[in-house]
Amino acid sequence: MTLEEIIQDLHALEARIRAYERKYGVTSKDFYELYRQGLLDDDGFAQTTEFTRWASSYEMKLEREADFERMSSAFLQSLRQEAADRPLRLTPNPQLA
């Protein structure tokens, strides 16, 4: 998966997750913990499906964030090596070109 695809996925997932958070008034982190522990009454097929989609979106967001962090760290490390003892010059990541 490219850096551009990761960033696009993150933005789309954030929008989807925010809609669930607005609807239910809880953070996705709190929801996900309840979901994983099996503590939610999902009240039928529609809510079960919605909760499954919310949980899946949250899991994918966490995965994409980890990928983005890894790629960002690698890019910054390369900038540090180029800069040696000088201040870092932040330039657009060539992976986005």
Concatenated DSSP letters for 21-38? HHHH-S-HHHHHHHHHTT
pLDDT score recorded for residue 94: 93
Phi-psi region of 25 (alpha: psi -120 to 50; beta: other; left: phi over 0): left
pLDDT score recorded for residue 45: 81
pLDDT score recorded for residue 36: 95
Average pLDDT estimate for 25-35 = 97
The whole-chain average pLDDT of the chain stands at 94
pLDDT score recorded for residue 43: 78
The model's pLDDT over 38-81, given as tens digits with 9 standing for 90+, comes to 999 877 888 889 999 999 999 999 999 999 999 999 999 999 99
Assign 3-class secondary structure to 20-80: HHHHHCCCHHHHHHHHHCCCCCCCCHHHHHHHHHHHHHHHHHHHHHHHHHHHHHHHHHHHH
